[in-house]
């Protein structure tokens, strides 16, 4: 056994050349530094990623209008801030309006929920009248325990300490947001210089491969955003048509909110409609609640049908590959995996097309 282990160590020493050891050491140091630095540099990282996403728009505007990069960056940056402000204003005012409405109508809602609970208790008593007293006592105990746990969980999140912590951190959030905007503008201005400095440390062969890969990834990211925009437009139009039939007085506002939320890849229309439907069901609006649940089901089916096709077409993946990577990403990483899965496959394909990964083998 010791001989086998020693042979294994010898093989490992042979494989671990000086160059590979240095690469491994650099990777370990980089991971350690990233583990320490990443949490405190999140605004800078997000601003850099956002700059990479906005770069195709800067280049396209510069090419179409024949203007300097600084002017193109300024126009794109202003449009980005306007869009961000519009979305923030719309969502914030909507949330505040709904909170005010809930607070104003809270006595009515509490009375309605109390009546519903009394009716449910009476119904359960009629169902359980033939059951043994021990079973009835156990059911009552379990229901009461569930309600107590739910109340405790709710109070643990909604309390004065958490509210105080949120209000105390507002200056930090504001500083982080300002840093994000300033860094975004500077990154947009200096991206060509950053690329140039990076390419200076690469050989000609590696530079060609990196250029091919980066251009492919830029095309893919732009295509993904385009596909996501088309999906959100389709979902919002379907929502508008349905809401004009269900509740026409707020159909336009809610469909716009659904469009804004659905454009964010991780979220979707269900983020808006599910709480609304649940609220209606709990407060006695059974008809509207059921109609909203049906609308959620329809939108989920439509989205599942069109999303793999649209994303696959725009980013150059087959619908099957897109569906498989989205499913595996979701199972492994959760909601964020829906984006990460296809992106990893796209990165792999781009690296293979650039010659960084070679798959020339036969079985």
Residue among 281, 277, 280 at smallest CA distance from 300: 277
Residue entry with tokens 């469009």: 259
Instruction: For residues 256-260, give the mean pLDDT.
Output: 82
pTM of the model: 0.58
Identify which of 104-113, 210-219, 255-264, 289-298 has the greatest average pLDDT: 289-298
Question: What is the share, in percent, of the chain residues with pLDDT greater than 70?
Answer: 67
Instruction: For residues 307-330, give the mean pLDDT.
Output: 74
CB-based burial, 56-88: b 16+ in 10 Å, e otherwise = bbbbebbeeeeeeeeebbbbbbeebeeeeeeee
Instruction: For residues 183-201, give the mean pLDDT.
Output: 84
pLDDT at 205: 75
pLDDT at 41: 75
Instruction: For residues 187-200, give the mean pLDDT.
Output: 83
Q: What is the mean pLDDT of the chain?
A: 75
Residue 42 to residue 51: CA distance in whole angstroms: 14
For residue 256, the tally of other CB atoms under 10 A from its CB is 15
pLDDT at 118: 67
Instruction: For residues 64-92, give the mean pLDDT.
Output: 85
Instruction: For residues 5-13, give the mean pLDDT.
Output: 54
pLDDT tens digit sequence for 178-188? 888 898 899 88
pLDDT at 78: 92
Instruction: For residues 162-185, give the mean pLDDT.
Output: 80
pLDDT tens digit sequence for 29-76? 877 776 676 667 778 888 888 888 788 888 888 888 888 888 999 999
Residue among 208, 203, 184 at smallest CA distance from 57: 184
49-58, 170-179, 315-324: the lowest-pLDDT one: 315-324
Instruction: For residues 167-191, give the mean pLDDT.
Output: 84
Q: Which residue has the higher pLDDT, 262 or 107?
A: 262
Instruction: For residues 79-90, give the mean pLDDT.
Output: 83
Query: Is the confidence at residue 202, as pLDDT, over 60?
Result: yes
Six-digit token pair at 82?
A: 């306007």
């Amino acid at each position: 056994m010791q001989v086998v282990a020693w042979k294994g160590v010898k093989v490992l020493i042979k494989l671990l050349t000086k160059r590979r050891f240095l690469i491994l050491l650099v990777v370990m140091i980089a991971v350690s530094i990233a583990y320490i630095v990443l949490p405190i540099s999140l605004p800078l990282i997000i601003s850099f990623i956002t700059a990479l996403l906005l770069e195709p728009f800067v280049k396209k505007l510069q090419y179409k209008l024949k203007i300097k990069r600084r002017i193109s960056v300024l126009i794109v940056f202003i449009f980005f801030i306007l869009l961000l402000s519009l979305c923030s204003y719309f969502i914030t005012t909507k949330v505040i309006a709904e909170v005010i409405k809930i607070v104003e109508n809270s006595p009515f809602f509490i009375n309605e929920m109390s009546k519903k609970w009394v009716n449910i208790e009476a119904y359960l008593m009629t169902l359980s009248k033939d059951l043994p007293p021990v079973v009835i006592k156990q059911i009552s105990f379990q229901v009461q325990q569930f309600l107590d746990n739910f109340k405790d969980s709710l109070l643990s999140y909604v309390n004065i300490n958490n509210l105080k912590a949120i209000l105390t951190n507002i200056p930090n959030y504001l500083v982080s947001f300002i840093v994000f905007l300033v860094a975004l503008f500077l990154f947009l201005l200096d991206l060509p210089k950053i690329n140039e400095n990076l390419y200076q440390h690469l050989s000609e062969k590696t530079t060609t491969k990196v250029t091919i890969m980066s251009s492919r990834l830029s095309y893919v990211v732009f295509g993904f955003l385009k596909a996501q925009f088309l999906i959100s437009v389709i979902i919002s139009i379907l929502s508008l048509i349905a809401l004009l039939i269900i509740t026409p007085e707020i159909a336009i506002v809610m469909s716009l909110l659904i469009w804004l939320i659905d454009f964010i890849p991780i979220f979707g229309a269900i983020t808006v409609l599910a709480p609304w439907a649940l609220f209606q069901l709990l407060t006695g609006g059974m008809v509207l609640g059921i109609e909203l649940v049906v609308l959620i089901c329809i939108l989920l089916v439509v989205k599942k049908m069109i999303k793999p096709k649209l994303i696959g077409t725009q980013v150059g993946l087959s619908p099957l590959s897109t569906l498989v990577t989205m499913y595996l990403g979701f199972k492994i990483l959760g909601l964020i995996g829906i984006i990460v899965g296809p992106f990893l496959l796209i990165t792999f394909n781009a690296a293979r097309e650039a010659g960084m990964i070679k798959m020339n083998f036969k079985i």
